[in-house]
Amino acid sequence: MEDPPPGRFDGSAARRSADARGETLDQLLDRNLAELLQELRVAITGVQVLFAFLLGLAFTQRFAEIDGFGVTVYTVTLMATALATVLLIAPVSFHRLVFRRRQKGALIHVADVMLRAGLAMLVVAISCGTLLVLDVVLGRGAAFAGGGLVLLTGAVTWYALPLWARRPHPPGAPAALVDDGDELVL
């Protein structure tokens, strides 16, 4: 495959990864795009359910009984969900605008950034949604505990663990698993 036209995408890391896996750059980019699309499908489903719930909530009779704190939490939850929705759908628009222009590497890079930002907004939205519902059902103390637990769990499982796993292994560490840059090799 010939190199993509010059632009904002630096394909050197992708080329090294493709070479290490015995793939062409096109095969690597196709595989990365397929994996990214699957991740987006999972995330967007959760966002759609939460967004639908939030949009309908404001029009219920019980919503009028929510105090100022509840309205603030609802507003933050709605905005975080709306931003997550926009960020997670944005790669579709990006793809349409660069389609057939040999910009798949740029698409993958930009979509990756948008997916990470969208997931950050989603964990905020889920945590605040939990806070809102628990505040109504169980009271403010339980709401802060439940919302905080969800936020902490999201931060640990969505960010801390992956960042921990991708750090360089110190010299002399057990070599049970070796990361070839893309997959673990036993």
Highest-scoring range by mean pLDDT, 84-88, 107-111, 163-167: 84-88
Residue 102, both tokens = 């040999």
| Residue 20 in domain | yes
pLDDT (tens digit, 9 = 90+) per residue, 119-149?
999 999 999 999 999 999 999 999 999 999 9
Residue 7 pLDDT level (bands cut at 50, 70, 90): low
| Residue 175 in domain | no
Burial readout 46-72 (b: 16 or more C-beta within 10 A, e: otherwise): bbeebbeebeebeeeeeeeebeeebee
| Residue 3 in domain | no
Residue 186 has pLDDT above 70, yes or no: no
| Residue 165 in domain | yes
| Residue 180 in domain | no
- The predicted pLDDT at position 4 comes to 46
Distance CA 162, CA 142 (A): 29
User: How many domains is the chain built from?
Assistant: 1
pLDDT (tens digit, 9 = 90+) per residue, 12-56?
777 777 777 777 777 777 787 778 778 887 888 888 888 888 888
| Residue 146 in domain | yes
pLDDT (tens digit, 9 = 90+) per residue, 75-99?
999 999 999 999 998 888 887 777 7
- Name the one residue in this structure whose structure tokens are 């339980």: 142
Structural domain for 117, as ranges: 12-170
| Residue 4 in domain | no
Residue 1 has pLDDT above 80, yes or no: no
Distance CA 175, CA 177 (A): 5
| Residue 102 in domain | yes
Q: Mean pLDDT throughout 142-170? A: 91
Strands 178-179 and 184-185: antiparallel
